Amino acid sequence: MSSKVIVTIFGASGDLAQRKLYPSLFRLYKSGNLSEHFAVIGTARRPWSKEYFESVVVDSISDLADSPEQAQEFASHFYYQSHDVQDTEHYIELCKLQNKLNEEYQAENNKLFFLSMAPQFFGTIAKHLKSEHIVDGKGFERLIVEKPFGTDLATASKLNEDLLATFDEEQIFRIDHYLGKEMIQNIFAIRFANLLFENIWNRDYIDNVQITFAEKLGVEERGGYYDQSGALRDMVQNHTLQLLSLLAMDKPKSFTKENIRAEKVKVFERLVQPSEDDLKRLFIRGQYKSGKVNGKKYISYRSEPNVNAESTTETFVSGAFFIDTDRFRDVPFFFRTGKRLTAKGTHVNIVFKQMNSIFGEPLKPNILTIYIQPTEGFSLSVNGKEVGELFNLAPISFDYRTDATASGASPDPYEKLIFDVLNNDSTNFSHWDEVKASWELIDKIEQLWSQNQVPLHEYAVGSMGPEAAFDLLAQFGARWQWQPDK
């Protein structure tokens, strides 16, 4: 790994930079993964001084540093440039600063750019980086792009073309922070390091797969963005489909980014494109109404700041995807995600088929649960015998669970993902072919919804979404396994 690098952050005054990027860079620094040979150029419109920028960085890492001196030493690597992304002059200045810091820190011309601002500027930034010779082909040059990657296939394709004018696909790292989560990466181990599971990971043994991304919070201060986006674009196009691809992919030839990507892309390309009837039957949208939970009042989505009072934007979506591969043909992959639900939690339930029962009562399915957050771990439910003289079946659960995030045992996704970029490892990033295929499918659902022919179900705050999301599974003789509302 080369830890000699000049990192340039576009959007350095933003919330993400302060909450995630600076602390993640600091952890990498503390663990020795970033050497002394690095510097960070923060850019944003605000006219900050280096001293002020350093104080922002110090504040953002105050609870991670061993001493104020260590925090200050780290922050001394940060430089600030007030930057208007549309102004060519500013890139000329940026280039000078880049070259100066490259000399000073002996960074061997390695450059990492992080785009963490309004996506409409990504194309302009990429263009200027090349035309003003900041990207000059010397050293490594990598680009990290934050979501959202477009708002539909057309805008995503345009954005991609703009980036490709300056960077190759191999240099572009599209962040999906869920791919940096410990338990999502653990899916590779569960599946491909245990013959036990790999042998039954197919349509002969799996009845259905259930993916839940539940959030207790509402849209908070992001109403302006969210009202244009909605849950389908915000959580399904990226996180849900990425997770699904890891669950559904075939075994890669080896654990390399090329082989993993090839298998993931196959899943995206084999996603069944639903007919119009299936689009109506298989995808449910909802919006939270005002209500009370434990005596506390919550406003409706439409009353949230910066949200249109007549908004039809969905804050909940549920549906069923199918993948046309020999492994998983006709197996429903159910998903649901929403704001203001009962509890925060990302869980996957793999529901296995059962055999004929010899016990005079139907057998409960075996279920493998993957707890992604906030608890991390697995559980496997099997049928056992109840203690006692009589022979009764009783569920037994093999559990391995930790609250690793709370204990700080698991690294933050951004720390892992930046580490991967420094290692030139794109395994845990979204490839363009994946993004493209996911937008093709999401666009179909969005188009149907925009015609308002499909109901927008209201749901109560603190619930697990509208009834329709439960009826969806009932169509398949299934039910949601995770029921925090019960």
Active site residues: 239
Contact criterion met (CB below 8 Å) for 337 and 356: no
The continuous run of DSSP H or E covering 158 comes out as helix 153-164
d(CA 288, CA 462): 9
Three-state SS across 237-293? HHHHHHHHHHHHCCCCCCCCHHHHHHHHHHHHHCECCCCHHHHHHHEEEEEECCEEE
- Contacts with ligand BG6, residue ranges (CB under 6 A): 177, 215, 234
Token pair for residue 429?
């990033």
Nearer to ligand BG6 among residue 234 and residue 376 (C-beta): 234
Establish whether 15 is an annotated binding residue. Answer: no
* Least gap, CB of 182 to ligand BG6 (angstroms): 12
Establish whether 292 is an annotated binding residue. Answer: no
Establish whether 177 is an annotated binding residue. Answer: yes
Nearer to ligand BG6 among residue 22 and residue 80 (C-beta): 22
In 3D space, the residue among 200, 266, 243 whose CA is nearest the CA of residue 336 turns out to be 243
To 10 degrees, what angle do helices 122-131 and 153-164 make?
10
* Least gap, CB of 234 to ligand BG6 (angstroms): 5
* Least gap, CB of 453 to ligand BG6 (angstroms): 26
Helix, strand, or coil (residue 343):
coil
Establish whether 215 is an annotated binding residue. Answer: yes
State residue 337 phi and psi, 5-degree precision: -155, 145
Establish whether 339 is an annotated binding residue. Answer: yes
* Least gap, CB of 344 to ligand BG6 (angstroms): 7
Nearer to ligand BG6 among residue 182 and residue 234 (C-beta): 234
Nearer to ligand BG6 among residue 141 and residue 215 (C-beta): 215
Nearer to ligand BG6 among residue 372 and residue 473 (C-beta): 372
Contact criterion met (CB below 8 Å) for 298 and 290: yes
Token pair for residue 344?
């925060």
Of all residues in the shown chain, the one whose CB is closest to ligand BG6 is 234
Nearer to ligand BG6 among residue 177 and residue 264 (C-beta): 177
Q: How far is CA 108 from the centre of its chain?
A: 32
Token pair for residue 399?
């559990």
Token pair for residue 340?
């203001």
* Least gap, CB of 374 to ligand BG6 (angstroms): 9
In 3D space, the residue among 180, 258, 178, 164 whose CA is nearest the CA of residue 211 turns out to be 178
Establish whether 310 is an annotated binding residue. Answer: no
- Residue 214 β-bridge partners: 338, 345
* Least gap, CB of 219 to ligand BG6 (angstroms): 8
* Binding-site residue ranges for substrate: 177, 181, 215, 234, 339, 344
* Binding-site residue ranges: 45, 84-85, 147, 177, 181, 215, 234, 339, 344
* Binding-site residue ranges for NADP(+): 45, 84-85, 147
